[in-house]
Amino acid sequence: MKALAPFVLFSVLAAPTLAGAQQSTSDTNSVQDRPAVTFNEIERGLYFSVQGGPSFIVNPPAEEGERPFSSGQMAQVEVGFDIGDRLSLGVFLMGAANRAGSDYVGNSGGAASGDFSYLVPGAVARVHLVGFADNQEVKRTWIYARGGVGYTLFSPKLLLPDSDILVFAGPGVEYYTRLRHFSVGLEVSASYLVSSGSFGFAVSPNLRYAF
pTM: 0.80
Q: 3-class SS at 158? A: coil
Average pLDDT, the chain: 88
pLDDT of residue 40: 81
Contacts of 76 (CB under 8 A, 6+ apart): 50, 51, 52, 92, 93, 94, 95, 204
| Residue 10: per-residue pLDDT | 45
Write down the pLDDT at residue 88: 98
Nearest of 141, 149, 129, 146 to residue 187 by alpha carbon: 146
Query: How, if at all, do strands 139-155 and 116-133 pair?
Result: antiparallel
Exposure string of 62-98, with b = 16+ CB inside 10 Å and e = fewer, is beeeebbebebebebebebebeeeeebebebebbbeb
- The domain ranges of the chain are 46-210
CATH 3.40.1210.10 fits 46-210, yes or no: no
What distance in Å separates the CA atoms of residue 68 and residue 115, rounded to the nearest whole number?
Answer: 11
User: If DSSP codes are grouped into helix, strand and coil, which group holds residue 12?
Assistant: helix
- Measured in whole angstroms, the distance separating CA 12 from the mean position of its chain's CA atoms is 73
CA angle 46, 201, 131 (to 5 degrees): 45
Low-confidence residues of the chain: pLDDT under 70 = 1-39
CA 19 from chain centre, in angstroms, equals: 61
Q: How far apart are CA 12 and CA 87, in angstroms?
A: 72
